[in-house]
Structures are given as C-alpha cells and as structure tokens.
C-alpha cells in the first residue's frame, strides 16, 4: 500500500529520522502522494533518529498553552510525562504560555532541559483562547524562542506522553493525522466548507484531516504557518465568521496549500476512547478525557 519509491529513500534518510523501513507496515499508508513520510511505529529506527539529532546538536522547542483552568488541570502531567518521553537525551526548551506564571508547577527537569514561562492575556471566550495561540506563537517564533530552537513542536496541553516521542517526529514542517478521522473517506472530512471563510476548502480539496493538537517544523516554516493561520483567523473575525474547528480549520487550509514535509501517524496523538486497534501499535501521546461540559462555559 504505502511503500516509497527507492528514489525517495535517500531523501528520507536525511529527514532526521532514520526512516528506513516503510515496508515494515504494509497495512498502513507510509508515504503521501507528494512523497512525505507518514511515520508509523516500526518504520523508523529510534536510535538512528536520536543519533542524527545529537550529531546536529539540535535544540528542540515544545510550546504549550495553559490558560485558566487548564493550568491546574493538565499542565503538570503534560510536563512530567514529557520529561519521561519527549526527546529524551536532546536539548529541549519548554515554552509555557499562561496568564498566571506564578502558578506554573515546578516540575524537575533533566539535564539540558529548560522551561520558560511567557505571560499571555486571558481571552474571554474559549474559542478565542484557542485561536489566539497562532498569533502568540508567531510573535514568540520571531523572538527568543525563534533564536533558541531549531525545531519546534506546538501542542495542546490536555494530553500526556505515554511512550518515546523522539526526533523521528521532527521535520521541516510536520502535521499530525487526527485520530478520529484517519480512516475516513476524504469527502467526509470536517474541513471548513463555507467558501466565505479563509479556511475554506473546495470540493475535492484536502489531503488528510490534521489535528491541531500537534504540529511543528523549523522556525522558518512555523513563522509562515502561524502567520497564515493568524491572518485567516483575523480576516474571518472581521467578517463575522468563525471556521468550524477554529484554528484547526485554518491549519488544515495551510497544509493543503503547503504540504507538510512529514506526517505523524495517529500513534503520535491517540484518543484512548477509540480503544485498541491493530494499526495503533505504540501510542506516544494520549488525549485526556474531554470534559467539555465542565470546562467550556
């Protein structure tokens, strides 16, 4: 099904990940139509990925927003589990964005790992908390974060790591397959379809439905991504529109126009409510149970 042509293989070896065995997972798609690897457990060599990242002396940024009740509810477990599993052995800078820096938990960090807290203002509507992230990230990438890190992953806080999440997840631009939708027919994917929205995709458009809970890339690529999404979000707001899945809709539009260099399988951001599935061999990051009724008011 998803084996890459040999000509792509040489390129993939340079893609930070030692992606050497796409044929190891014949039951899933391991390569997109534009030649980007889709990273599944078994298709990469974690040690080769680690070594390659270490040789390049990378600094990896991990951004996360923890505003309002999400700080107490999710941040500590997110950070503690990241210490266990996220880019172990690499240089890592966590960037926590919150309106209450003093309330950020003191999680002991391993050597070469650092945490920076950035103050943000709290938006009134939850949709705005989520959407404002693109603008805030854009500014951060233009400042200290952008100078400090080579690659950055941007994540939701309402999840925790459960297995190794290493440099195999790094690339020039990285998109996450959404756990709910990765096996759906393309025409049913929940893209924004209202043509008035900046996030709109026309009939027949859209490759995959990507989850905004994990996206990443080089600083330059993410500057472009966040600028695009922040611009689209602002334009929609000026016209009294709000895309179906907020910032995620704009992210999906961006990745339709600018194909990701690497795609992460749903193992990299899995929803435990979906149960055990034979293609999900090694979930690395698990969604926390949704408590919309309690948290969205």
295 binds, among Mn ion, ligand 2GW, none (CB under 5 to 8 A by kind): ligand 2GW
Report, in Å, the least distance between residue 92 CB and ligand 2GW.
Answer: 18
Tell the residue number behind the tokens 């922040």, with chain if given: 230
Handedness of CA 133, 117, 109, 60 (dihedral sign): positive
Which range binds Mn ion by CB under 5 A, 41-49, 89-97, 153-161, 219-227?
A: 153-161
49 binds, among ligand 2GW, Mn ion, none (CB under 5 to 8 A by kind): none
| Residue with Cβ nearer ligand 2GW (93 or 229) | 229
- Of 222, 217, 75, nearest to 140 by C-alpha is 222
Report, in Å, the least distance between residue 23 CB and ligand 2GW.
Answer: 32
What is the C-alpha to C-alpha distance for residues 12 and 114, in angstroms, rounded to an integer? 30
What is the C-alpha to C-alpha distance for residues 132 and 128, in angstroms, rounded to an integer? 6
- Of 168, 264, 153, nearest to 218 by C-alpha is 153
Of the residues 168, 192, 242, 248, only one is catalytic, namely 248
Report, in Å, the least distance between residue 58 CB and ligand 2GW.
Answer: 24
| Residue with Cβ nearer ligand 2GW (65 or 86) | 65
Token pair belonging to 243: 């895309």
66 binds, among ligand 2GW, Mn ion, none (CB under 5 to 8 A by kind): ligand 2GW
By Cβ distance, which residue is nearest to Mn ion?
A: 156
Q: Are strands 210-218 and 173-177 parallel, antiparallel or unpaired?
A: antiparallel
212 binds, among Mn ion, ligand 2GW, none (CB under 5 to 8 A by kind): ligand 2GW
Report, in Å, the least distance between residue 84 CB and ligand 2GW.
Answer: 19
Helix (H) or strand (E) holding 140: helix 126-141
| Residue with Cβ nearer Mn ion (158 or 236) | 158
Nearby residues of 56 by Cβ (< 8 Å), 6 or more positions away: 150
The answer to whether residue 158 forms part of the interface with Mn ion (CB under 5 A) is yes
Report, in Å, the least distance between residue 166 CB and ligand 2GW.
Answer: 22
Residue 102 DSSP label: G
- Work out the angle at residue 212's Cα, subtended by the Cα atoms of residues 208 and 214, and round it to the nearest 5 degrees: 100
Q: Is 172 an active-site residue? A: no
What is the C-alpha to C-alpha distance for residues 52 and 168, in angstroms, rounded to an integer? 10
126 binds, among ligand 2GW, Mn ion, none (CB under 5 to 8 A by kind): ligand 2GW
**Annotated binding site: which residue ranges?**
65-67, 70, 156-158, 178, 248
Annotated active-site positions, please?
248
Residue ranges binding Mn ion (CB under 5 A): 156, 158
């Amino acid at each position: 099904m998803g084996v890459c042509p040999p000509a792509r293989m040489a390129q993939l070896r340079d893609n930070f990940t030692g992606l050497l065995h796409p044929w190891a997972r014949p039951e899933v798609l391991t390569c997109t139509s534009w030649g980007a690897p889709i990273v599944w457990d078994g298709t990469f060599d974690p040690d080769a990925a680690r070594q390659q990242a270490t040789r390049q002396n990378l600094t990896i940024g991990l951004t996360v927003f923890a505003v309002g009740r999400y700080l107490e509810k999710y941040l500590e477990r997110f950070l503690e589990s990241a210490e266990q599993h996220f880019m172990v052995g690499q240089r890592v800078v966590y960037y926590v964005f919150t309106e209450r820096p003093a309330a950020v938990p003191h999680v002991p960090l391993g050597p070469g790992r650092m945490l920076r807290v950035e103050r943000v203002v709290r938006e009134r509507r939850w949709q705005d908390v989520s959407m404002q992230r693109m603008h805030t990230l854009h500014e951060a990438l233009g400042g200290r974060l952008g100078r400090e890190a080579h690659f950055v992953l941007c994540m939701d806080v309402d999840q925790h790591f459960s297995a190794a999440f290493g440099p195999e997840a790094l690339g020039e631009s990285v998109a996450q397959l959404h756990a709910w939708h990765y096996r759906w027919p393309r025409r049913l994917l929940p893209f924004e379809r209202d043509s008035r929205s900046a996030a709109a995709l026309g009939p027949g458009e859209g490759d995959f439905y990507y989850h905004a809970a994990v996206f990443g890339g080089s600083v330059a690529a993410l500057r472009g991504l966040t600028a695009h999404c922040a611009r689209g979000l602002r334009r929609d707001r000026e016209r009294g529109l709000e895309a179906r899945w907020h910032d995620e809709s704009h992210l999906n539009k961006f990745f339709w126009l600018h194909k990701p260099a690497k795609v992460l399988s749903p193992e990299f951001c899995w929803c435990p409510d979906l149960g055990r599935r034979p293609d999900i061999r090694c979930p690395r990051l698990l969604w926390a149970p949704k408590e919309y009724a309690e948290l969205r008011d």
